[in-house]
Structure 1
Amino acid sequence: MDTSLEHLSQSVRMFCDDRDWAQFHNPKDLAIGMATEASELLELFRFQDSEQMNKMLEDGETREKIGDELADQLYFLLRFADLYGFDLAEELNRKIGKNAMKYPVDVSRGSNRKV
């Protein structure tokens, strides 16, 4: 199975084209979709301690719910990038470069503090 970003983007594009959904996919609504799906993932973990979260990740039914929310987020991200010309691999590499400068290893290793 081809799981490249390009192949996944094509799958999302075909799914949306078959349903004539481009008319609903402006930048604002796609961004809202990303935020909504991220909130739905967060809701699954609300008020859970580390032990409970580990159990959730081991439970097949709950793991599937988590996977659904991750897939929903990826769907909106791929759709936004495809419609508005963002190369996600290029954007990620560019951002990692920025973060490498912002969080040098000698200062950031083992620390989650913002600089």
Structure 2
Amino acid sequence: MQFDALNQEIREFCDERDWEQFHTPKDLAIGLSTESNELLEQFRFKDTEEQAALLEDAGSRQAIEAELADVLFFTLRFADLYDVDLEQALADKLDTNRERYPKDEYASSNKKYDE
């Protein structure tokens, strides 16, 4: 994966601004939550057709992409500063979810594994 190159770019950006002092685990988690909610806000109160229209409109799509980039920024920054191997964490999570959600049992289902 290309996390190393992205992490390096984010690290340099933050180092140039002396921001590490503001990037505690709590503050990065708050930033991640805030940016995720800003992404969610783009779709709030929109039906399926309106959501699709947002993604087709250049201005709306740009705003959505910017929020996704913010979410990625905070995720990568957290992982880089606190030695989280995102590639391994994702692989582990996929393994867990394969066990929780066997494809034959959960195909076309949105039920949670414990329901």
Deviation of the 1:106 alpha carbon: 1.5
Question: What runs of 5+ residues in structure 2 fail to find an aligned partner?
Answer: none
Partner of 1:28: 26
Partner of 2:87: 89
Partner of 2:56: 58
Query: Alpha-carbon deviations, 1:18-66, whole Å to 9, x = none?
Result: 0000000000000000000000010110010111111110111100000
Looking at structure 2, the residues matched to 86 and 9 of structure 1 have their Cα atoms a distance apart, in angstroms, of 12
1:11 aligns with 2:6: no
Question: What runs of 5+ residues in structure 1 fail to find an aligned partner?
Answer: none
Deviation of the 1:110 alpha carbon: 1.0
Deviation of the 1:107 alpha carbon: 1.0
Identity %: 52
Which one of 85, 90, 106 corresponds to residue 104 of structure 2? 106
Which one of 68, 75, 88 corresponds to residue 70 of structure 1? 68
User: Match for 2:19: what amino acid?
Assistant: W
Deviation of the 1:71 alpha carbon: 0.3
Q: TM-score normalised to the size of structure 2?
A: 0.96
